[in-house]
Structure 1
Amino acid sequence: MGHREDLLEGAKRCLLEKGFARTTARDVVKESGANLASIGYHYGSKDALLAQAYVALVETVGDSFEGSPEDGLAGEPGSLERFQAVWSNIVDTMREPGSIWRLSMEILVMGDQLPELRDHLARAQREAGRGLVPLLMGGREEDVSDEEADTLGMFYVTLMTGLIAQWTFDPRTAPGGEQLAEGLRRVISGVRGAGAGEGGGS
């Protein structure tokens, strides 16, 4: 590996051990075997490097959102069964000891103190939503439009953020995929019922 890859791998290890706020540029240099100047040359800043390292960690965990290759995902794309299956897999990653999602909570709590890092990760959210859309609805990520990424994709990202917060705050009462699917079913049923009522009154 070159210095760029070494820095990224070192930053990942630092994040998992120390989190965002406690990781210094010197920590990354020590862990990666690179030098301080390499951070600026390859990534622009330590915060930009940490943001990319976090995104890379999430992408690794994201592979498990689809479940095991043998079993695949239950349900047709766009169905409640698929919704439940995907979110159950996501919740499983939050149950794991040392879950990386605690890093997301650190950004939410300390965002004002880490503005550059927050800005980098905020830009990455849209792409995270773009990746969730085909997982739940079918199709290919490259075919997801900006409008879909900004609406349906951000809906999923908002749900994800709320889940992370609940599983970090109180895992005992945090919902699983089954509860989320049932909640969505009731929302859909309520919207349909309201629509039928409006139509009947015209």
Structure 2
Amino acid sequence: MGHREDLLEGAKRCLLEKGFVRTTARDIVKESVTNLASIGYHYGSKDKLLAEAYVSLIEGLSDDFLPAAEASGGDTEPGSLDRFQEVWSNIIATMQGPGSMWRLSVEIVAMGDQLPAVRDHLALAQREAARGLIPLFFGGREEDVPEGDVDSVGQFYNTLMTGLICQYVFDPATAPTADQLTEGLRRVIGAAADGRK
């Protein structure tokens, strides 16, 4: 690995151990066995490096979100309530472990105005996250998702994700289960259908 990759891996370890605010450039350099100048050369700033490290950590979890049948080459019913329940169950499982990295998301939200470079970088990544969530629920390929779907369905799932992250970081014992989310969606769909009659 070169310095760029070493810095990214070191930044990931620092984020998991210390979070955004407490991680210094010197921490990253020590963890990656590189030098301070490498951060500016490869990433422009410590904050941009940390933002890329955070995105990389999230991307590393995305395979854990897949429905089991799809992950093993099988097929589940895209767009079904069963698929909705299974995907949220998988996502929630990544939030329940000790030392869940999702606390970093809450730190970003809380400190966003103090970390403008991180916020701006992640605002762009959030749109792509919305695009990436859609195939989990509906099947298909991320690159085929229309922009209008990203702005509606993708943002709907992003909003659910952000709310769940906050609830699980704040109090996992009272955060909703995938079954509860699915029942809530079932009732919302039923009420909407009744309202159209």
Q: Which residue of 2 aligns with 1:130?
A: 131
CA-CA distance at 1:178 after TM superposition: 0.6
Aligned length: 195
Q: Which residue of 2 aligns with 1:7?
A: 7
Q: Which residue of 2 aligns with 1:46?
A: 46
Q: Which residue of 2 aligns with 1:87?
A: 88
Q: Deviations over 1:58-116 (max 9, x none)?
A: 1111210015544967x400000000000000000000111110000001111111111
Write the distance in 2 (CA, Å) between the matches of 1:150 and 1:129.
8
Write the distance in 1 (CA, Å) between the matches of 2:7 and 2:36.
10
Q: Which residue of 2 aligns with 1:119?
A: 120
Q: Which moved more, 1:1-10 or 1:112-121?
A: 112-121
Where structure 2 has 5 or more consecutive residues not aligned to the other structure, the ranges are none
- Counterpart amino acid of 2:96? R
Q: Which residue of 2 aligns with 1:96?
A: 97
Q: Which residue of 2 aligns with 1:20?
A: 20
Give the TM-score of the pair, scaled to structure 1: 0.93
Alpha-carbon RMSD across the aligned residues, in angstroms, is 1.3
Write the distance in 2 (CA, Å) between the matches of 1:10 and 1:144.
33
Write the distance in 2 (CA, Å) between the matches of 1:98 and 1:139.
32
Give the TM-score of the pair, scaled to structure 2: 0.95
CA-CA distance at 1:145 after TM superposition: 1.6
Where structure 1 has 5 or more consecutive residues not aligned to the other structure, the ranges are 197-202
Write the distance in 2 (CA, Å) between the matches of 1:54 and 1:72.
31
Q: Identity of paired residues, percent?
A: 68
CA contact (8 A) 2:67 2:136 kept: no
Write the distance in 2 (CA, Å) between the matches of 1:5 and 1:175.
37
Say whether 1:154 aligns with 2:155. yes
Q: Deviations over 1:120-179 (max 9, x none)?
A: 111110100111101101111010122111111111111000000001111111011111
CA contact (8 A) 1:66 1:72 kept: no
> Which aligned segments of 4 or more residues in structure 1 are displaced greater than 4 angstroms?
70-73
Q: Which residue of 2 aligns with 1:200?
A: none
Larger Rg: 1 or 2?
A: 1
